[in-house]
A and B are shown apart, each in its own frame.
Chain A
Amino acid sequence: VPQNERLIDDLADAILDASPVDWAAAESSSDETAQLVVRQLRVLAAVADLHRVDPKVADAPGMWSHLRLVERIGRGAFGEVYRAWDTRLDREVALKLLPADRSPGIGQRLQSSTKGDCSPKCDIPTSSASTA
């Protein structure tokens, strides 16, 4: 068990440092329970790598409440407009994000993740979602 914990710690460090990992070797050197965690760490390594190297992934900031942002389709002084999928309505929508005090993208993703649901309490000057 301590060996598994050490392996998982080492893999987490490698992901944080963007160091290369031999994932096949990591999976084969862990027991069955740890293997399942190692596989998820492998997914997380891929998520991290893609955000680092693929601008399309880096520019698509994931979920905004129940809206899954697909791609940015416009940006300007007015803010940013994204093509998004509304998981409640099960349809495509356009999401407009107005400029915030904090740097766009980063602050929005951090805050929307923290708050989960965008409501009048939401302190991000937000989002008007309308049908695309």
Chain B
Amino acid sequence: LSSEKLVRPGPKKLSVESPLEQAIGQEAVERYEGALQRLKAEEREAIIARVEMGYSFEELAEALGKPTPDAARKAAHRALVRLAEEMKRAAE
């Protein structure tokens, strides 16, 4: 037997990229997820519910225990700015 015949092909490389990673890149997704984890729980919930799940501000108010949709909107706004600042720190 030649040595060539004894060489087995390596394992097939598995694609483990999520659809989001395929769209914006693994680095950006990791920065996003990492920064999300560093937010306060309420901020994180506001981002996930509004940005990822598309909750209305009425639904968001209910989920966050805010008295009005406008209060929920302000909370989501603050969370979004905080998240961007956290992601900036991670990118530096």
Decide if A and B are genuine partners: yes
Q: Is residue A116 contacting chain B, with contact meaning CB distance below 8 A? A: yes
- Beyond A37-B85, A40-B84, A113-B48, is A50–B36 a contact (Cβ under 8 Å)? no
Chain B residues touching A, majority SS: helix
Residues of A within 8 A of B19 (CB): 50, 54, 56-57, 60, 71
8 A Cβ contacts from A37-60 to B: 37, 39-41, 43-44, 46-48, 50-52, 54, 56-58, 60
**Cα separation A57 to B76 with both chains bound (whole Å):** 21
Residues of B within 8 A of A61 (CB): 52
**Cα separation A40 to B31 with both chains bound (whole Å):** 9
Q: Is residue A97 contacting chain B, with contact meaning CB distance below 8 A? A: no
What 1/0 flags go to B1-28 for Cβ under 8 Å of A? 0000000000000101111100110001
- Partner of A16 from B36, B44, B73 at Cβ < 8 Å: B73
B16 touches A62 (CB 8 A): no
- Partner of B32 from A16, A43, A54 at Cβ < 8 Å: A43
Closest to A36 in B: B88
- Partner of A47 from B20, B77, B85 at Cβ < 8 Å: B20
Q: Is residue B61 contacting chain A, with contact meaning CB distance below 8 A? A: no
B48 touches A43 (CB 8 A): no
**Cα separation A84 to B88 with both chains bound (whole Å):** 27
Closest to A56 in B: B19
**Cα separation A69 to B53 with both chains bound (whole Å):** 16
8 A Cβ contacts from A12-46 to B: 12-13, 15-16, 36-37, 39-41, 43-44, 46
B16 CB → nearest A CB, Å? 4
**Cα separation A116 to B40 with both chains bound (whole Å):** 12
Besides the contacts A13-B77, A46-B28, A51-B53, what 11 more A-B pairs have beta carbons closer than 8 Å?
A39-B88, A43-B28, A46-B23, A47-B51, A51-B54, A62-B52, A70-B16, A106-B53, A110-B49, A113-B36, A113-B45
Closest 8 CB pairs of A and B: A56-B19, A40-B87, A40-B84, A85-B16, A12-B80, A57-B19, A48-B51, A36-B88
